[in-house]
Amino acid sequence: MCVSNICEEHAKNELERLAKLIYYYDRLYYLKDASPISDYEYDALRIRNKEIEMRFPDLVRFDSPSKRIGVEGSERFDKVEHRVPMLSIENALSDKEVYEFIKRIKRFLRLSKESFLEFTVEPKIDGLSLALRYERGELIYASTRGDGRFGEDLTANARVIPDIPCVLRGICPKVLEVRGEVYMNHKDFLDLNKEQKKIGCMIFSNPRNAASGSLRQFDVSVTAARRLKFFAYGWGVVSDIPSDTQLGMVKCLSHYGFRVNPLTELCHNAESMIRSYRFFEKNRFALSYEIDGVVYKVNSLFLQKRLSCLSRSPRWAIAYKFLPEKAMTVLRAIDIHVGRTGVLTPVALFDPVIVRGVVMKKATLHNDYYISGDRRDLRLGDTVIVQRAGDVIPQIVDILLEKRLNTSIPYMFPSSCPSCHSPIVRYGQGYRCIKGLLCPAQALERLHHFVNAFNIKGLGIERIKKFFYSVSSSIAIKSPVDIFTLENRQKCSLDLNKLENMKGFGKQSLRKIYNAINARRVVVLSHFLFSLGIPHVGELVALRLARYYISYALFENSVKESLRNKDKTLNKAFKELLSIEGIGLVIAEAILNFYNDEYNSIFLERLLKEITILDEECFSIGNSPFLGKTIVFTGCLKAMSRAEAKTRIKNLGAKAANSISFKTDLLVIGSAPGLKLKKAADLGIQMMNEEEWMAIISSYDHVH
Ligand SMILES: [Zn+2]
């Protein structure tokens, strides 16, 4: 229930429940190195608690989680008091909260909204915080965060971590308490678990638990063997502060002999702070250690002091955690999708869940092997973990077998095509319906592909479906040929079957559709070859074929010549086909198979009566640097219009797109570029300005 709707009684009960629950999880986490719920779920509990407390300040409990950090140290180790409390850091869960954090600080410092304020950004290491006290450069003690006031004495354990110097280098403050994170590299974590499994010991659920469990050992030799690492990023008591900025202090720590995170950087505004977050979010898996977000800190120590601390966290810092990429849900159904070439792709349908701010309700399962192949056994009703990482298609990454229902049964892949009910055949690790265009699902997909390739405006998938399933012979479009005969068939039809009398088709919109169709009765060879939907012949392959054969007649003759000869290896035409760059045996065979099909021959004969195929214009694009690339323009070009620029790159074998996506290869920047610039930067897309781009394309101009 939304916090603004709850009554006082309800709030009181919920606060009590939350206090108990959070304490329970904290104890497990701090004392047993275990976390049965995800960080995100845990944070959600804390946020809920805080929201209720903000609305009902009188109900804040004496044992409220908001007043406590972690739990009292366990009985296992001696207690150490932190002279400067070891606070935790407030969390931001969205860009908006980062903006608000900056606004709040400026308001507090009475700075104007536009005023300049520096922040450091550093990756948030997912490990265990440790405080190290040095006196006259010598390590005196090391302690964990504990509850923020008292931590556990782990001095002996800290001494065996190579990254933690027992004696500091150079001239340093008399008293210096260094704070940082003990963590474990991914590789060392996996090795450790392998070893643990071998000797029958506890398996750690993540690198953080492994680091914590390895550090908090009575037998120091165990800690020493665990290859723990340490990054220094902060400090507690310092007798004489050697710098006046956060970044300066981090540099000092490095001089004293600590490892500091080299990715720490300065940001000057909210936009660059968010950009930095996106960068880490995207590249986190390339790091050798686990990070779960970034931490922003006000760079000026003078301002940090003025901002001071709230009861639980400093006002001058905030952590922006990554949103979870995984979520738990229940598999409800498996849909079988029949593709254009008859490949059957199972699609998992599950209860909707939000992952990284997007509602997900289905994921591809690729093939049946993925459902019940090697040690996998996915069943309807199973509780599953779904993942959506970066640009990857959502997928099911885990099954929670302990939650499986007793009544569940193994999934049986259908033995026939769900569309045409004919038997299916093995195809790689999956299945295929081989009925071709006789299978309605394939025919519809092919029709859709054709319309897209021909770029016929006004025929979206919903309209195509309507035409495809129509039983009237003057309306039905079963194959691409029918598109071009529609207008004539309509002219001769009875009023009953006239489209203009039907819902959704006004006279004008119908005219528009006819015009769009007629405008495509003339097509260049490359578009035509692509539109046929021959397996493996995508836009680029079609373009290469067209550039080679130039005319359809030459292409068709060559294919027919190849088909006539039984022994293809001796066939000149077939060898020629294979000699074209990018055309291998698989593609060549697919083309021959397509032309060898009787149904396709009839189809082509009928289609060629309706349309004219233009010769491919001859450009020497063989070595075009843009061949097959997707290019986007932003800003105003000096030398030519946007339309001309697009034509130029198309002639060089590239594709022009209007917006930036992960498919974009290059962004060309004119004057006054728009938002695309930022997006491209975020995605790490190659960019060049108009002059650089012109220099490249003009070197190909002589060909025209
Ligand atoms: Zn079928």
For residue range 147-174, what is the model confidence (pLDDT) as tens digits? 888 888 899 899 999 999 999 998 999 9
Residues by chain with Cβ below 5 Å of ion ligand 1: 417, 419-420, 433, 435, 439
Q: Which residues contact 589 (CB under 8 A, 6 or more apart)?
A: none
SS3 422: coil
**d(CA 576, ligand 1 centre) in Å:** 34
Q: How far apart are alpha carbons 393 and 358 in whole angstroms?
A: 13
Distances 180 to 133, 229, 486, 518 between C-alpha atoms, Å: 12, 10, 73, 70
Contact 128, 35 (CB under 8 A): no
Considering the four listed CATH numbers 1.10.150.20, 1.10.3720.10, 3.40.50.920, 3.40.30.10, the one that applies to the domain covering 436-520 is 1.10.150.20
At residue 485, the pLDDT reads 93
CATH 3.30.470.30 residue ranges of the chain are 91-321
At residue 703, the pLDDT reads 38
**d(CA 499, ligand 1 centre) in Å:** 29
Assigned architecture for domain 3-68? Orthogonal Bundle (1.10)
Pairing outcome for strands 424-427 and 430-433: antiparallel
CATH 1.10.150.20 residue ranges of the chain are 436-520, 523-614
**d(CA 337, ligand 1 centre) in Å:** 10
Q: How many CB atoms lie within 10 A of CB 246?
A: 25
Instruction: Decide: residue 275, CB within 10 A, 0-12 exposed, 13-18 middle, 19+ buried.
Output: middle
Phi first, then psi: what are they for 44, rounded to 5°? -60, -40
* Beta-ladder partners of 337: 345
Instruction: Decide: residue 159, CB within 10 A, 0-12 exposed, 13-18 middle, 19+ buried.
Output: middle
CATH 1.10.287.610 residue ranges of the chain are 3-68
Q: How far apart are alpha carbons 74 and 68 in whole angstroms?
A: 15
Is 124 an annotated catalytic residue? yes
Q: How far apart are alpha carbons 222 and 215 in whole angstroms?
A: 8
Residues of the chain with pLDDT under 70: 1, 30-36, 39-40, 68-76, 311, 356-358, 367-375, 389-392, 566, 568-569, 618-623, 699-704
* Distance from the Cα of residue 108 to its chain's centroid: 37
**d(CA 413, ligand 1 centre) in Å:** 15
**d(CA 440, ligand 1 centre) in Å:** 7
53: closest CA among 11, 104, 19, 21? 11
Q: How far apart are alpha carbons 484 and 513 in whole angstroms?
A: 11
The active-site residue out of 50, 79, 124, 403 is: 124
Contact 663, 628 (CB under 8 A): no
At residue 190, the pLDDT reads 87
Angle (CA) 515 517 522, round 5°: 105
**d(CA 421, ligand 1 centre) in Å:** 6
Q: Can you say whether the dihedral through the CA atoms of 213, 217, 219, 220 is positive or negative?
A: positive
CATH code linked to domain 326-433: 2.40.50.140
pLDDT tens, position by position, 311-351: 678 889 999 988 777 888 899 999 999 988 888 988 999 98
523-614, which class in CATH? Answer: mainly alpha
SS3 433: strand
**d(CA 627, ligand 1 centre) in Å:** 36
DSSP-derived letter for residue 2 is: -
Structure tokens at 590: 């697919």
CATH code linked to domain 630-703: 3.40.50.10190
Structure tokens at 120: 């450091």
At residue 704, the pLDDT reads 36
**d(CA 369, ligand 1 centre) in Å:** 20
SS3 699: coil
The two counts, helices (H) then strands (E), for the chain are: 24, 24
ipTM for the predicted complex comes to 0.99
**d(CA 476, ligand 1 centre) in Å:** 20
* Beta-ladder partners of 179: 131, 234
Q: Which pairs with CB-CB distance under 8 Å and at least 24 residues apart come from 531-534?
A: 531/449, 531/450, 531/453, 531/454, 531/480, 532/450, 532/594, 533/340, 533/341, 533/446, 533/449, 533/450, 533/453, 534/590, 534/591, 534/594
Structure tokens at 210: 């492994």
CATH 3.40.50.10190 residue ranges of the chain are 630-703
Query: Side chain identity at 170, as an amino acid letter?
Result: G
Pairing outcome for strands 291-298 and 265-267: unpaired
At residue 701, the pLDDT reads 52
3-state helix, strand, coil in the chain (%, to 5): 40, 20, 35
Pairing outcome for strands 317-321 and 395-399: unpaired
**d(CA 339, ligand 1 centre) in Å:** 9
Pairing outcome for strands 343-355 and 430-433: antiparallel
CATH code linked to domain 91-321: 3.30.470.30
**d(CA 365, ligand 1 centre) in Å:** 19
